[in-house]
Amino acid sequence: MKVKVISVLDDNYMYLVIEEHAKDAFAVDASVSKKLIEILQKENANLKAILTTHHHLDHSRDNVDLVQRFPGLHVYGADDRIRGLTHKVVHGQELKFGDINVRCLFTPCHTSGHMCYFVWEDGCPDAPALFSGDTLFVGGCGNFYEGTAEQMYKNLTETLGTLPKETKIFCGHEYTVRNLKFALKVEPDNEDVKEKLAWAKARDEDDIPTVPSSLEEEFTYNPFMRVQLQDYNNISTALTLAELHQRRQARKFPAEWTDNLSWDPVSSQKSTPTTTATPTQPSKIGTNEWCKLQNVASAALKF
């Protein structure tokens, strides 16, 4: 099984998975048909199907074009909003493409119909692959556009987190440096975060993808996968920052109040934050991530 990583748009990834004996292939999140067809021709592969993780256009916009170009092409997904959808799949359903197997894993939250795909090849010693779309990123997770923190927690710790530790993670976007900068704010002494961030920065400077990671690695540096492993001292700060961010969006506080913020628990019932920041406190760059992390950590307490 060969996985071709294809960079498209601003920071998206689409993928071509090739069964090397028959040269049959399927694409994951085929958003740019021209680029995909170029790779198909270069690999002398036959496109049989598209697996779409969710309906957002940067993951599905060229499905219809490809269906027109390749008669009989199957488009799989879990959401009726997916362009060109021909086969709707459900959690646990398995698909087969030659010797390649695909298990559909339903992960609602980023969108209500988000599906990840766990892929392995019969008789192949290579590690299995997970195409995680916008649920799990290298060092981070997706925004909760149509779901809850409880759903994301379950997605990360149960649906995906229990897969074989050697599973390779192929995500939907190149967000690694940004994610790991936030991870370092959460755990400033985590050497795995520091090493991965330095590596990712070097890759980014050379315009080289940082995918895939592995599930085992994610448990060492991804704060959203580590909520069960760490008693984050900054969670109370995250809660406060999340609340301030919401009020800021409602124009109740000036923007500078959420920059370089620290919070005094004693005065947390008052309406004025302190501004004596320490290196471990969240800053403006991570406001949304702090909101997500606080919510996921809170969700963990309910399980």
CA-based torsion, 193, 185, 112, 159: positive or negative: positive
pLDDT of residue 300: 67
Q: Is 204 a catalytic residue?
A: no
Continuous H helices in the chain: 33-43, 57-60, 63-69, 149-154, 176-186, 191-205, 215-221, 235-249, 287-300
% of the chain at pLDDT higher than 70: 79
- Give domain limits for the chain: 2-221, 235-300
pLDDT in tens, 228-252: 776 554 444 444 444 444 444 444 4
Residue 132: C-alpha distances to residues 11, 136, 160, 303 (Å)? 15, 6, 9, 23
Instruction: Give the residue with greater pLDDT, 284 vs 151.
Output: 151
List 59, 74, 114, 245, catalytic entry? 59
- By C-alpha distance, which of 152, 134, 238 is closest to 187? 238
Whole-structure pTM value: 0.83
- By C-alpha distance, which of 271, 270, 282 is closest to 236? 282
Q: Encoding tokens for residue 162? A: 């229990």
pLDDT in tens, 211-223: 999 999 999 999 9
Instruction: Give the residue with greater pLDDT, 290 vs 44.
Output: 44
Q: Is 56 a catalytic residue?
A: yes
Say which CATH topology domain 2-221 has.
Metallo-beta-lactamase; Chain A (3.60.15)
List 54, 74, 114, 245, catalytic entry? 54
pLDDT band at 276 (very low <50, low <70, confident <90, very high): very low
Whether the ω angle into residue 212 lies within 30 degrees of 0, i.e. cis, is: yes
